[in-house]
Structure 1
Amino acid sequence: MSFGEPNNPYNSAPQPPAGAPGAAGYGYPQQPGVPPQGYGYPQAPGMGGVPQFGTPGMPTLAHWGLRVVATIIDGIIIGLPYYVLGIAGVAMASGDNGSGGGIALALIGFIGTIVLAFWQLAKEGSTGQTIGKRAMKIRLLKEADGSTLGFGLAFGRRICHIVDSIACYIGWLWPLWDSKKQTFADKICSTVVIRSQ
């Protein structure tokens, strides 16, 4: 077979680009009247295929006020054992003539605070909610797929909050004007806080 023969496939007219009328598609044939299907998330304007929060069918982002109140609630709960047992320990130490009972009580309060903080972190990683977030009906999730963070990423996000505090705490205020309502730690870890039902 030579290139000049009429049945030679290399000698045929150029094909129109894929997706154009009359173009030959690859894979399974499409049914008439059904648009071709893509993979992954549905296309959203301006997001390069990632769904935009706030659009129909997508969760609503939590506003800054809800996040602040949730953080205050968590701070009170985590700090409560330390302050209660610490104050009791100081009062006891001033009256026990150096027996050490007050210091032991303050130490127990400190250990209780650490345990509560890690328990809250584990709950946030596994369910997306601390006690404060549950009270405010908000949830922390991965931005890409809406799954929970797991303990490691939740812990890493807490460490990343250092970045929120570096420049005069501007990262903590960033959700007030950010389109995704993210702090710098959220941006680093690719997380979002949404309203839960």
Structure 2
Amino acid sequence: YAPPPPGPAIRTLPTEAYAPWVSRALAFVIDYLPYVVLQAIGSWIMFATQQSGCVTDVTQYTVNQYCATQDSTTGVLAQWLATLIGLGYLVWNYGYRQGTTGSSVGKSVTKIKVVSEVTGHPIGFGMSVVRQIAHIVDAIVCFIGFLLPLWDSKRQTLADKIMSTVVLPIEQ
């Protein structure tokens, strides 16, 4: 007979021992701010460099003018570049940084970290990316999964429950 599997490294703690929802929400805003700024810059360049052209149709009885506006090549390239840089930032921030240290940029500012419930350590690059993708489940039913930490005893979202992760304050 094999011995029973070890219990979770993070035993059930009082609710106050887990990161509060406000800290998690603020970390999310801080994490996405650079991405939003990059997208705004790309969109502004695309809008500012639009090209317009008009054609006038003159017949015996009427004069009609037809105009069209389209995005310039420069604008489209700027938007794509902003998107690629932004996605690269998100993969680095949520995949590499959060996966290896437990904290994304926003979580570092708010002094919280994501750890495995089983080991108590950061979850690694791949699992951190999968955790971000799992947040789709939080959004499926009116974003209720993101509000779950408000009343859950471990302050977990549905993605946290799926991935067996908890968010804890960083001890100083």
TM above 0.5, one fold? yes
2:146 to 147, 166, 172: 172
Q: Which amino acid aligns with 1:131?
A: V
User: What residue is the counterpart of 1:183 in the other structure?
Assistant: 157
CA contact (8 A) 1:80 1:113 kept: no
Deviations 1:95-153 (A, max 9, x none): 8x975212211111111111111111211111111111011011011011211111111
TM-score, normalised by the number of residues in structure 2: 0.77
Q: C-alpha distance in 2, partners of 1:50/1:81? A: 38
Q: C-alpha distance in 1, partners of 2:10/2:71? A: 63
Larger RCO: Structure 1 or Structure 2 (Cα < 8 Å, ≥ 6 residues apart)?
2
User: What residue is the counterpart of 1:63 in the other structure?
Assistant: 20
Deviations 1:158-182 (A, max 9, x none): 1111111112211111100111000
User: What residue is the counterpart of 1:53 in the other structure?
Assistant: 13
Q: C-alpha distance in 1, partners of 2:71/2:12? A: 62
1:150 to 124, 130, 137: 124
- Structure richer in helix, relative to its length: 2
- Equivalences for residues 31-180 of structure 1 within 5 A: 51-54=11-14, 60-94=17-51, 100-121=73-94, 122-180=96-154
How much does 1:79 deviate? Answer: 2.2
How much does 1:89 deviate? Answer: 2.6
Identity of aligned residues (%): 34
Q: Which runs of 5+ in 1 are unaligned?
A: 1-39, 42-46
Task: Tell which structure's C-alpha radius of gyration is larger.
Answer: 1
The change in CA–CA distance for 1:94 and 1:51 in structure 2 (over 3 A counts) is same
Q: Cα RMSD over matched residues?
A: 2.5
TM-score, normalised by the number of residues in structure 1: 0.68
Q: Which runs of 5+ in 2 are unaligned?
A: 1-5, 53-69
Q: C-alpha distance in 2, partners of 1:115/1:131? A: 14
